């Protein structure tokens, strides 16, 4: 099939599958039944649909596709196949109850592990299924943010201390840089294939993401009233949304606050701006006489000429390296992890906030869809590429190569940005 294998043993495959499932269940466990009933919005899914879909997706690839088993729930595809069940239809289905859905999830997981075999195909679809579940877990956090639900009952660490301020730009010399995944990189998504060289001019990129203080200065300077700062599409969004500041901000007598799940918290001076869309990021850039990095620039700045898997090298993530995995439960200040830099000196390239890029999400040269055909291809050109992962992103999934993609008007995702100097 041309996929690259990952390296699960039966034990690590089971541990990762169970961990992904426990996280999914923990993200909904505290919700009273009436909170499972969510309004029809384009950016979220019904919660019971979403968790049933996760199990059904894994069942499809790991049990039906690999073993030819019949589905556990007879009409599974008519309920849960995201390519077949249109978004709005998901609100009209006769879905299994919460108890039935969780029972299905348990049965699927048990069966998947019972039939796990250490061959290339099981390796590939295990990674695909776990990452798919991880992505839906992050979506459940967006959903809870959108709906003003409380933060789920997940253990969190205290936000990391900061000892020095991170300021200024990192200089990246011009030249040819490799972008994308190579054979031997382990599991890769189709949109990362394959590595290819791009020619980049020299550029200077901010060492850290834009802070709330910087973004508030743009707001206070009439940023949301000055049409000349906005692109045509950005202006259309701003007018239709009636936006006068970031969607989740409010102004109080003591200063700006942002809504974090079900409560407002004061903006910290050194936290990154989050929940801004690509239009807001671009208008800020025009105001600040800066620009967004392209996707290739971002990857070159993060990975360097040696093509590191992570900004800090090739060793696996730990909580003292980046704000990932939901471990801290929120954004941390931009000065955290100051000693963990990319080869060119950029910090926080992975974790904390997703970062908008200037690039449309496009296929790499020679693109061909992998077995999960609807993963990337339907979204090319219309969606914008984002990089780096947020505090809410599972660490096992993210790397310097990893490409995310969303429509540019989305504000619900945990997204900020960093800027480049205009030469």
Which of 192, 407, 222 is CA-nearest to residue 309?
192
Report the sign of the C-alpha dihedral through residues 174, 289, 355, 269, in that order: positive
Q: Quote the least distance from Cβ 68 to Fe ion, whole Å.
A: 22
Query: Min. distance of Cβ 8 from Fe ion in angstroms?
Result: 21
Closer residue to Fe ion, CB minimum distance, 213 or 377: 377
Q: How far is the CB of 91 from Fe ion (least distance, A)?
A: 17
Q: Minimum distance from CB of 129 to Fe ion (Å)?
A: 10
Nearest of 337, 391, 401, 334 to residue 168 by alpha carbon: 334
Say which residues have a Cβ less than 8 Å from residue 221's Cβ, sequence separation at least 6. Answer: 287
Least distance from C-beta 217 to Fe ion, angstroms?
Answer: 39
Output the smallest distance, CB 138 to Fe ion, in A. 12
97-116 residues in contact with Fe ion (CB under 5 A) are none
> Which of 82, 213 has the CB closer to Fe ion?
82
Residue placing its CB nearer to Fe ion in the complex, 57 or 149: 57
Residue whose CB is less far from Fe ion, 133 or 295:
133
Q: Measured between alpha carbons, how far is residue 293 from residues 198, 360, 370, 418 in Å?
A: 14, 12, 28, 8
- Closest to Fe ion by CB, 132 vs 275, is 132
Dmax (CA) for the chain in angstroms is 63
Phi, psi of 263 (to 5 degrees): -140, 155
Nearest to 38 by CA among 86, 90, 81: 90
Instruction: Return the number of the residue (3 or 134) whose C-beta is nearest Fe ion.
Output: 134
Residues 72-91 that bind Fe ion (CB under 5 A): 82
Can you tell me the distance from the alpha carbon of 277 to that of 411, in angstroms, rounded to the nearest whole number?
5
Burial class (CB in 10 A: 0-12, 13-18, 19+), 1: exposed
CB of 41 to Fe ion, least distance (A): 17
CA-wise closest residue to 353 among 244, 168, 210, 144: 210
Q: Residue 249: enclosing H or E segment and its boundaries?
A: strand 249-252
Give whichever of 43 and 82 is closer to Fe ion, judged by the CB atom: 82
Of 129-158, binders to Fe ion (CB under 5 A) are none
* Residue 124 Cβ vs Fe ion, minimum distance, rounded to whole Å: 17
Give the Cα separation of 385 and 166 in Å (integer): 25
Specify the residue, 4 or 82, whose C-beta has the smaller distance to Fe ion: 82
Dist. CA 406–CA 364, nearest whole Å? 17
Q: Which residue is nearest to Fe ion (CB)?
A: 82
- Which residue, 95 or 217, is less far from Fe ion as judged by CB? 95
User: Site mask, Fe ion, residues 362-401, x = CB under 5 A?
Assistant: ----------------------------------------
Q: Residue 163 Cβ, how far from Fe ion at the closest point, in Å? A: 41
In 129-282 the beta strands, taken as DSSP E runs, fall at 169-172, 175-179, 196-200, 203-206, 249-252, 255-260, 263-266
Q: List CB contacts of 142: < 8 A, sequence separation 6 or more.
A: 43, 44, 412, 413, 414
Cβ atoms within 10 Å, residue 250: 11
The DSSP output letter for 190 is: G
Nearest distance, CB of residue 292 and Fe ion, angstroms: 28
Cis upstream peptide for 194 (omega within 30°): yes
Q: Rounded to whole angstroms, how far apart are CA atoms 204 and 339?
A: 19
Closest to Fe ion by CB, 189 or 203 = 189
Cβ nearer to Fe ion, comparing 347 with 392: 392
Nearest Cα residue to 53 out of 126, 115, 140, 124:
140
Smallest distance from the beta carbon of 50 to Fe ion, in angstroms?
A: 8
- Among positions 210-239, residues that touch Fe ion (CB under 5 A) are none
Size of the site for Fe ion (CB under 5 A): 1
Residues in the site for Fe ion, rule: CB under 5 A? 82
């Amino acid at each position: 099939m041309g996929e690259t294998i990952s390296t699960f043993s039966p034990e690590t495959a089971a541990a990762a599958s169970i961990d992904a499932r426990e996280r999914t269940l923990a993200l909904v466990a505290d919700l009273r039944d009436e909170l499972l009933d969510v309004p029809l919005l384009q950016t979220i899914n019904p919660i019971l649909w979403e968790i049933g879909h996760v199990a059904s997706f894994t069942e499809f690839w790991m049990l039906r596709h690999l073993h030819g088993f019949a589905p556990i729930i007879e009409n599974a595809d008519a309920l849960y196949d995201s390519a077949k069940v249109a978004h709005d239809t998901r609100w009209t289905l006769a879905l299994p109850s919460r108890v039935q859905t969780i029972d299905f999830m348990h049965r699927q997981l048990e069966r998947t592990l019972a039939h796990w075999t250490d061959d290339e195909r099981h390796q590939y679809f295990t990674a695909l299924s776990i990452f798919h579940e991880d992505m839906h877990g992050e979506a459940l956090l967006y959903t809870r943010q959108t709906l003003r639900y409380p933060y789920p009952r997940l253990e969190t660490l205290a936000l990391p201390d900061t000892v020095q301020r991170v300021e200024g730009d990192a200089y990246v010399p011009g030249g040819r840089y490799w972008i994308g995944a190579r054979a031997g990189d382990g599991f890769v998504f189709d949109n990362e294939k394959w590595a290819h060289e791009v020619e980049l001019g020299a550029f200077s990129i901010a060492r850290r993401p834009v802070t709330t203080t910087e973004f508030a200065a743009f707001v206070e300077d009439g940023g949301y009233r000055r049409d000349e700062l906005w692109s045509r599409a950005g202006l259309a969004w701003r007018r239709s949304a009636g936006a006068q500041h970031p969607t989740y901000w409010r102004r109080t007598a003591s200063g700006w606050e942002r809504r974090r799940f079900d409560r407002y918290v004061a903006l910290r001076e050194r936290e990154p701006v989050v929940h801004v869309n690509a239009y807001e990021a671009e208008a800020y850039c025009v105001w600040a006489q800066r620009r967004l990095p392209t996707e290739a620039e971002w990857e070159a700045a993060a990975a360097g000429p040696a093509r590191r898997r992570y900004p800090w090298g090739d060793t696996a993530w730990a909580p003292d390296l980046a704000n990932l995995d939901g471990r801290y439960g929120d954004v941390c200040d931009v000065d955290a992890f100051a000693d963990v830099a990319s080869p060119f000196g950029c910090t926080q390239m992975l974790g904390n906030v997703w970062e908008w890029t200037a690039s449309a999400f496009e296929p790499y040269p020679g693109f061909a869809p992998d077995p999960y055909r609807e993963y990337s291809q339907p979204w090319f050109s219309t969606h914008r590429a984002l990089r780096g992962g947020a505090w809410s992103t599972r660490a096992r999934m993210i790397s310097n190569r990893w490409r995310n993609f969303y429509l540019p008007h989305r504000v619900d995702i945990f997204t900020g940005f960093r800027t480049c100097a205009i030469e």
